[in-house]
Amino acid sequence: MSIKDDVTADMKDAMRARDQVRLDTLRSVISAFNYRRIEAGAELSEPDQLAVVQKLVKQRADSIEQFSKAGRTELADKESREREILLKYLPAQKTPDEIRTVVRAALAALPPDGRNQGAVMKAVIPQLKGLADGNAVRQIVGEELASA
């Protein structure tokens, strides 16, 4: 069952339960899928659907940060709830220790003179795509480079 099928089924459940925030969030996902499908000119593959949901989660995280800075806690709470709803459709995220293991392996594979943040990120991101937040990976890469 694809992500889109899961979202559609959950949207129907949200309608029955009269859960307006969940319903609005899932409708935005379907809308984003349709927009991306039209943009691509073809049906979305599973990785494409995953990328759309990841983008929506990142948008929510950015909104939470901005609303919190502005003191708009009610909007930050709403965005946080939407983000939690969206996270259900993503694969389990790697822990910082698991990310650190991948980063250390990439550092070991690189020659000592080629160890910079760009080179390490280039080696690590394909392995962690969709499994870890890019900012968390960047932070851990920086820490590992500093301690190396």
**Per-residue model confidence as pLDDT tens digits over 18-47:** 999 999 999 999 999 999 999 989 998 888
Model pLDDT, residue 134: 78
| Confidence (pTM) | 0.75
Distance from C-alpha of 131 to C-alpha of 85, rounded to nearest angstrom: 17
Are the C-beta atoms of residues 3 and 49 closer than 8 Å to each other?
Answer: yes
Domain count along the chain: 2
78 and 116 fall within a common domain = no
What are the C-alpha distances in Å from 35 to residues 54, 96, 123, 130?
15, 34, 31, 21
User: Model confidence over 91-116: pLDDT tens digits?
Assistant: 888 888 888 888 888 888 878 777 77
User: What whole-number distance in Å separates Cα of residue 108 and Cα of residue 126?
Assistant: 17
User: pLDDT tens-digit profile of 116-130?
Assistant: 788 888 888 888 887
**11/61 same-domain check:** yes
Whole-number average pLDDT of the chain: 88
The whole domain housing 62 covers 3-87
Domain identity same for 52 and 108: no
